[in-house]
A and B are shown apart, each in its own frame.
Chain A
Amino acid sequence: MKNKYLERLYNGLIKENPTLVLMLGMCPTLAVSTAAINGITMGLSSLAVLVLSNFLISVMRNVIPDEVRLPAYIVIVASLVTVVKLLIKAYLPSVDAALGLYIDLIVVNCIILGRAEAYANKHTPGLSVMDGIGMGLGFTVALTLAGLVRELLGAGTVFGFTVFPQEYAVGIMIQPPGAFLVIALFIIIMNAIGIKTRQHELVNSDGCDGCCATCAMRCEEAKEEVK
């Protein structure tokens, strides 16, 4: 029994890492990876929302009617994000200033709705919470890694501590283009050492497979209708 719970952690962190393997949640990954500390705070905020939403959805999985499950999930997630946003605004104003809009946008993060749809609405609350912790940690690790590389190359610091003088840093890495460059680099490295990722789906999906659980489902329906 214990193994099943630990397997969820391993699955989220490594086997199905939401950012590096499943290529979900690209918007926050690109946007907030300007510094390692931003990656950690954003990752942990998402983790909190994900664990709570997985728990609530799992508890209510037999109560929510199937036809209205997506709006119900969205309301649950949006309420949780509002709570997290207000807490961060009250107790961690510096984090709020650094992440701003992207805390609000956790609500449309496909990792959260995706896990609700793919896991939490079919499994027990205990397993769902572990799944949320695993996926949340996987997201946090990936964001922090991207932030670390960008901060090191772009400002010559790691978590704010100077590694080499700023004159030698490549300033563009902490500007918007650096985000695309670092993620491209990550995918190139993973391709080169033969780790299977969903990178081809990311760019060839017709948008149906990209971001959110919600659009993925509605999209297939709409495609059928138009045909």
Chain B
Amino acid sequence: MIRLILIVILNALISNVVLNQFLGICSFLGVSRQIKASASLGGAVIFVITIASAVASILYNGILVPLHLEFMKMIVFILVIAALVQIVEMFLKKKSPSVYKALGIYLPLITTNCAVLGIAIDNIDKFGYNFIESVFSGFGTAIGYTIAIVLLAGIRSRVDEEAIPRPVRGAPVVMLAAALMSIAFMGFTELQPAIETVLKGVGQ
């Protein structure tokens, strides 16, 4: 249990998916105009990344490894994730139209979001997590994404009202805000050695 909580903290705060790993930058910069939209996108990302991590882990350990087809993982993952998002979309549309209305626009965006594919590959290549750990790692990553995008949206709603020199308006000021957030999140990296020691100690 401690292990799973630490995996979530590690992925959400320390190696934050956007501010530290630079995955999913486009939607991070593009959708962070309003807090409400950001929170909706965050919700959709939590939903999709958690499910995608679980499905990718099952496919890899259940089908690709027994057949010795590990090198096929990229092709399999990207197609499965793309199909998965469409299924999730259809399911939500039928079963809960209100959730679909809130998340609908953002679901297709996530299909080719590098964060989804990136964490599915990282779970296997970099960390070697098992099924449960992969799910929590995906969940933690998505929480980290949501925290980052909602915070950036908060900053942007203030920045937009300020008088900014012309060349800095638009993308540069958003990137500068992201840089400052990234510096703040670097503070968490001090925790990394401690958490990794505990993770090793607690074992599988």
Contacts and interface: CB of A to CB of B under 8 A. Distances in A.
B111 A82 contact: no
Contacts of B78: 74, 78, 107-108
Given A108-B113, A192-B167, A26 B29 contact: yes
A187 interface: yes
Interface in B73-125: 74-75, 78-79, 82, 89, 100-101, 104-114, 117-118, 121-122, 125
Chain B: interface residue count, which band?
A: 35 or more
Interface residues of A, number: 61
A180 B30 CA distance: 15
Interface in B158-184: 166-176, 178-180, 182-183
A59 interface: no
A155 interface: no
Contact of A27 (B26, B30, B82, B106): B26
Nearest to B175: A184
A225 B106 CA distance: 12
B112 A212 contact: yes
Interface in B108-157: 108-114, 117-118, 121-122, 125-126
B54 to A, nearest CB: 20
Nearest to B20: A176
A203 B29 contact: yes
Contacts of B118: 101, 104-105
A108 B30 contact: no
A180 B175 CA distance: 5
A209 to B, nearest CB: 7
A176 B171 contact: no
B21 interface: yes
Interface string A193-227: 00000011011111111111011001101110110
A215 B111 contact: yes
A176 B22 contact: yes
A27 B117 contact: no
Contacts of A86: 71
Contacts of B10: none
A202 B22 CA distance: 15
A71 interface: yes
A47 to B, nearest CB: 19
B30 A226 contact: no
A184 B176 contact: yes
B108 to A, nearest CB: 4
B108 A222 contact: yes
A202 B109 contact: no
B171 A202 contact: yes
Contact of B25 (A30, A74, A104, A221): A30
Interface of B: 19-27, 29-33, 37, 41, 71-72, 74-75, 78-79, 82, 89, 100-101, 104-114, 117-118, 121-122, 125-126, 166-176, 178-180, 182-183, 186
30 contacts: A26-B25, A27-B23, A28-B22, A30-B25, A31-B23, A82-B72, A85-B74, A104-B74, A108-B114, A175-B186, A177-B183, A178-B179, A180-B176, A180-B182, A181-B175, A184-B173, A184-B179, A187-B175, A191-B168, A199-B171, A199-B172, A202-B26, A202-B30, A203-B32, A204-B33, A205-B26, A206-B37, A207-B31, A211-B114, A226-B100
